Amino acid sequence: MQELIVILVDGLVFSSYLFMVAVGLTVIFGVMKILNVTHGSFYAFGAYMSATLIGAYYETDWPEFGGFLAIFAAALIVGVFFGIVLERGLLRFLYHRDEHIIVLATFAMFLVLEDVLLMIWGTDPYFAYQPMSLLGSVDIAEMTFATYNLTLIALAVVVGLGLWLGLTKTKWGKLLLAVIFDREVSQAMGINVTMVFLVTFIIGAIMGALGGAYIAPTISVSPGIGVEVIVLAFAVVVIGGMGSIPGAMIGALLVGISRAAAVHKFPEIELFVIYAIMALVLAIRPEGLFAPAQARKI
Amino acid sequence: MNFTNKPARAALLATGLAAAIGFSAGAANAAETVVMAVPTFLTGAGAPAFGVPARNGAEVIIEAINKGTLPAPYDKSGKGLAGRQIKALIYDESGGGVKQVAEFRNKVQKQGVDLFVGYISSGTCAAITPVAEELKMLTIFPICGTPRIFEEINTNPKYVFRTMGHATADGVAEAHYVKANLPDVKGYTGINQNYAWGQDSWRDFDLAMKQLMPSVPASDKAQWPKIFSGQYGTEISALMLSKEPLVHSSLWGGDLEAFIFQGAARGLFRKKKLLFSVADTSVYRLGKKAPIGAIIGARGPYGIFAANVDTPLNNWFRKVYSDRYSTLPVGGSYQAAQGVLAAKFAYDKAAAANGGKFPSKDQVIAALEGATYQGIAAKVHMNRSNGHQAATKHMIGVLEWDKEAGGPIMTKVTEFGPDCVMPPQGINGTEWLKGGMKGAKC
């Protein structure tokens, strides 16, 4: 029983991590139909910015819990900056081009940003462990968990719920859904699609950066972290269905809990599990679990 | 510019001639240098722990060789390699085996490289070995750890050398240390990255433990996280639930540091005894956050284990390195420096045997094969795999925090001789371990 509870908690924590790194990717794809490889850069820049701001914050005598604000500030700074620069400076020139060209362009930008990151922060790792130390630990089923990791579950729920409410209950969300449904008709009806695209890309970038910023206190922030994340994020998004927020959530849960079970019961197949689920879903439902079937335009 | 008028044509001609003269002068200069390629991780996850410290270590030694300022025992050997200045081409090892093989060919065939001293990843070394032999290129691996290089990939090397012990030495030294210091341990488990280095490390430690402490059971649920995964929450839970009190780990770099942060937050180090093969790469960076009380290694007598080696060469190296890079040298720094010193030793020895004339490649190879030379921290015996694989002494100890000095120190250090931890000449490491480590001199 203890092992079962631990698997569930571990699975939920890892699922939350997966959801946080995947949700921005799926939001951007859902609206703009762009497979955005620079998402890995948003994650990495978010983590570096977070580590830098946290480090600077704890150099001051300000209240300890204020350090958490640094995490969200980092996500906002990185997301807004790169959202505007990349959408206005690169992507808007490519919307009329083939999807594959856009993927290649974002991949090229990802490589460029990896070098920019090295130019700014160098190769030395950055540590920002203070927020994690501050929250201490809790015992669940006689197992000690870092409280900070458990807050990741809450953050994922808030982000998922916020995006869902924003999409379904607000005017802006309805405009977004209209654009997702049919970009051309939306434009004809007077929706400012250019603005919708820009705002969507910024939100997606903030989500990617928030993933990195929130994870930063638990890791050694070092070169290459964005590369690993993008692969996992793609796997989750493909399983859930490209562009579906509930899909990303279910995909993350499926992968997270299956992986946790594998680590506890059959650790040698930990790696295999994630991609086995992806292969299985693609074999049965190639568009992913939650992506609606696409009507072909003639 | 109008090239039809005479002055313009004259200027063009003069420029062309000047360029041609400059080129030939450059070519003449090039002939007086030894072009040494130094591939190491400058980007990506391998850079902070190994790549950049290795580059720094190599740079310090190359500069001193060129200026002729190396301390004893190299203080009378003159400037350069056999009198010729080293022209170093330091470049990035990132990108995987295929890219590195292409880069290797490019450096050999188009850039006139005379020798390679580098490569950190076991995967890269495995990919480069057959190509180096095919192109007849002198290649010195200073770091990569997989025993498979000379046990499977090329059992009869001519052009490839490795100037430090391989993963078998780590596993054997660790098992000896556990037997001596934790004689009542009830079992062991592990967390190692799921690729060549992690798999080899666990295999050799496990095989050595089975020989030295046959009654101590190994877990059948050792953990295999993906390299660079960075998230170890689930693995930490599994380790904490396991009944084995000892955890073996060859995690390194950012993975190691993330594991330490996440494990410390959950009390893993209070509940289990940790044994880290290569934690020295992180001890200075982590400071008090380092796993104090854990058993650690540095893949030999390097880094923090060399802190008290009182020789002119080691004292000089630590001072120059720390003055220049504002941090102390770690294992990778020592190991890369040791690789460059192998070239210095071999070229100078070959030149001396050649009547003082600059030696041929074959003469340099002959000089290094089977030789013993002085590394920064210890003697390097090139006496395995037909004289191409090094054996050095090995050290394992417990990491503690020195309150007075305000830094990490090694305590309860045990030193193992090269013939204790490395398989004898001509014997496959795995077979040697399975056969009870016959011939080991401990």
Picking from A14, A123, A129, the nearest residue to B52 by CB comes out as A123
> Given an 8 Å threshold on Cβ–Cβ distance, is A114 in contact with B238?
no
Same domain, B130 and B253: no
pLDDT at A90: 94
Contacts of B189 in chain A (CB under 8 A): none
DSSP per-residue letters across B381-434: EEEETTTTEEE--EEEEEEEEETTTTEEEEEEEEEE-HHHHSPPTT--HHHHHH
Q: How confident is the model over B287-305, as pLDDT tens digits? A: 888 999 999 999 999 999 9
Element (H, E) at B125: helix B122-134
Grouping H, G, I as helix, E, B as strand and the rest as coil, residue A83 is helix
Pairing of strands B389-391, B139-141: unpaired
| Residue B203 covered by a domain | yes
Are A219 and B230 within 8 A, CB to CB?
Answer: yes
Are B325 and B222 found together in one domain? no
Quick check: A234 and A25 in contact, CB under 8 A?
yes
The share of chain B scoring above pLDDT 70, in percent, equals 93
Look at A228 and B230 and tell me if their CB atoms are within 8 Å.
Answer: yes
**Over the stretch B201-256, which tens digit does the pLDDT of each residue have?**
999 999 999 999 999 999 999 999 998 888 899 999 999 999 999 999 999 888 99
pLDDT tops 50 at residue B272: yes
Percent of chain A whose predicted confidence (pLDDT) is above 70: 98
Residues B153 and B43 grouped into a single domain:
yes
Q: What is the pLDDT confidence band of residue B21, given thresholds at 50, 70 and 90?
A: very low
Contacts of A149 in chain B (CB under 8 A): 233, 262, 265
Residues in CB range of A197: below 8 A, 6 or more apart = A31, A32, A87, A91, A92, A95, A179
Q: How far apart are CA A14 and CA B234, in angstroms?
A: 8
The CATH code of the domain that includes B175 is 3.40.50.2300
User: What values do phi and psi take at A267, rounded to 5?
Assistant: -60, -25
Sequence ranges of the domains in chain A: 20-222
Residues B149, B222 share a domain: no
> A 233-272 residues with CB below 8 A of B?
259-260, 263-264, 267-268, 270-271
- Sign of the Cα pseudo-torsion (A99, A100, A104, A110, in order): positive
B400: containing domain = 168-298+395-434
Give residue-wise pLDDT tens across range B119-150.
999 889 999 999 999 999 999 999 998 899 99
ipTM of the complex: 0.89
Quick check: B161 and B388 in contact, CB under 8 A? yes
Bridge partners of residue B85, in order along the sequence: B33
Token pair 């930990």 is found at A270
User: How far is it, in rounded angstroms, from Cα B341 to Cα B74?
Assistant: 9
> What's residue A292's pLDDT?
65
| pLDDT, tens digit, 9 for 90 and up, residues B67-100 | 999 999 999 989 999 999 999 999 999 888 899 9
Q: Which helix (H) or strand (E) holds B91?
A: strand B85-92
Backbone angles phi and psi of A82, in degrees to 5: -70, -30
pLDDT tens readout for residues A227-280: 888 988 999 999 999 888 889 999 999 999 999 999 999 998 988 998 999 999
- Is residue B440 included in any domain, yes or no? no
Claim to verify: residue B346 and residue B333 sit in the same structural domain: yes
Residue B201 lies in a domain: yes
Domain match, B274 and B415 both: yes
pLDDT at A165 over 50: yes
Tell me if chain B has a CB within 8 Å of the CB of A48: no
Task: Verify whether the Cβ–Cβ distance A123 to B234 is below 8 Å.
Answer: no
pLDDT of B12: 41
Quick check: A298 pLDDT over 90? no
Mean pLDDT along residues B319-336: 96
CA distance B342 to B373: 7
* B401 and B292 Cβ atoms separated by less than 8 Å: yes
The verdict on whether omega for the bond into residue A246 sits within 30 degrees of 0, i.e. cis, is no
pLDDT higher than threshold 50 for residue A143: yes
Cβ–Cβ contact B254 with A under 8 A: yes
With an 8 Å Cβ cutoff, are A271 and B51 in contact? no
Which tokens in the block code for residue A223?
A: 């070169």
- The whole-angstrom separation of Cα B370 and Cα B166 is 17
Q: Which of residues 11-30 of A touch B (CB under 8 A)?
A: 11, 13-14, 17
Supply the mean pLDDT for chain B: 91
DSSP annotation of B278 reads: T
Q: Is A136 exposed, middle or buried (0-12, 13-18, 19+ CB in 10 A)?
A: exposed
Residue from B100, B49, B118 nearest B278 by CA: B49
Flag whether residue B231 sits within 8 Å of chain A, measured between CB atoms.
yes
pLDDT recorded at residue B412? 97
- Contact of B230 with chain A, judged by CB distance below 8 Å, is answered with yes
Is residue B24 domain-resident? no
User: Using a CB-CB distance cutoff of 8 angstroms, which residues of chain A are in contact with residue B267?
Assistant: 137, 144
**Cα dihedral value A56, A60, A64, A67, nearest 10:** -20
User: pLDDT of B26-54, one tens digit each?
Assistant: 444 445 899 999 999 998 888 888 999 99
- Alpha-carbon distance of A99 to A105, in angstroms, equals 10
Question: Which residues of chain B neighbour A220 with C-beta distances below 8 Å?
Answer: 48, 230, 253-258, 261
By Cβ distance, the residue of B44, B238, B255 closest to A263 is: B238
Number of structural domains (chain B) is 2
Q: Is B347 in contact with B69 (CB distance < 8 Å)?
A: no
Residue B266 CA to residue A10 CA, distance in Å, equals 13
User: What per-residue confidence (pLDDT) applies to B335?
Assistant: 97
B265 vs A14: CB contact, 8 Å cut-off? no
State whether B48 and A223 contact (CB < 8 Å): yes
Subunit contact B262:A146, Cβ cutoff 8 A: yes
The pair of structure tokens assigned to A241 is 């269905």
> What pLDDT shows up at residue A297?
54
Closest residue by Cα to residue B65 from B84, B52, B51: B84
Instruction: Indicate whether B2 pLDDT > 90.
Output: no
Could you give the dihedral angle defined by the CA atoms of residues B114, B115, B121 and B123, in that order, rounded to the nearest 10 degrees?
70
Same domain, B292 and B273: yes
Question: What is the least distance, in Å, from the CA of A283 to any CA of chain B?
Answer: 25
Supply the pLDDT for residue A184.
Answer: 86
Domain-embedded: residue B419: yes
Residues B203, B318, single domain; the answer is no
Query: Tokens 């993350």 — which residue?
Result: A252
Q: Name the minimum distance, in Å, from the CA of B147 to any CA of chain A.
A: 22
Condensed to tens digits (0 to 9), the pLDDT of residues B354-411 reads 999 999 999 999 999 999 999 999 999 999 999 999 999 999 999 999 999 899 999 9
Rg, chain B, Cα only: 24
Q: Is A133's pLDDT higher than 50? A: yes
Rounded CA-CA distance B425/B156 in Å is 12
If one compares B24 and A264, the residue with the highest pLDDT of the two is A264
Do B207 and B351 lie in a common domain?
Answer: no
Backbone angles phi, psi at B87, to 5 degrees: -105, 110
Residues in chain B: 442
Q: Are residues B174 and B133 in the same domain?
A: no
Residue reference for tokens 């540590």: A127
Q: What is the pLDDT of residues B144-188, one digit of tens each?
A: 988 999 999 999 999 999 999 999 999 999 999 999 999 999 999
If one counts every other C-beta atom within 10 angstroms of the C-beta of residue B90, the result is: 16
Q: What is the pLDDT of residues A16-68, one digit of tens each?
A: 999 998 999 998 988 888 899 999 999 999 999 999 999 999 999 889 888 89
Residues in B touching A264 (Cβ below 8 Å):
221, 234, 237-238, 241
Residue A148 Cα, gap to closest chain B Cα (Å): 9
Q: What is the pLDDT of residue B230?
A: 86
Pairing between strand B273-276 and A137-140? unpaired
Which residue shows structure tokens 């204790």?
B420
Question: Does residue A99 carry a pLDDT above 90?
Answer: no
Give the Cβ contact number of residue B321 at 10 Å. Answer: 24
Q: What is the pLDDT of residue A61?
A: 87
Local confidence band at B18 (pLDDT 50, 70, 90 cut-offs): very low
How long, in residues, is chain A? 298
Q: For residue A95, what pLDDT band results from cuts at 50, 70 and 90?
A: confident
In-domain check, residue B16: no
Question: Cα A80 to the chain's mean position, in Å?
Answer: 15
For B232, list phi and psi in degrees, rounded to 5: -125, 15
- pLDDT at res. B5: 47
Say what the pLDDT of residue A293 is.
Answer: 63
CA distances from B244 to B181, B202, B240, B247 (A): 16, 15, 9, 8
Which residue among B52, B237, B262 places its CB closest to the CB of A218? B262
Does B48 contact A6 at a Cβ distance shorter than 8 Å? no
Q: What is the rounded distance in angstroms from the CA atom of residue B295 to the CA atom of residue B315?
A: 25
From the list B52, B223, B265, the residue facing A263 with the nearest CB is: B223
Rounded Cα distance between B310 and B72, Å, is 12
B22 in any annotated domain:
no
In a domain, B26, yes or no: no
Query: Does B23 have pLDDT greater than 50?
Result: no
Interface of B with A in 194-223 (CB under 8 A): 194, 221-223
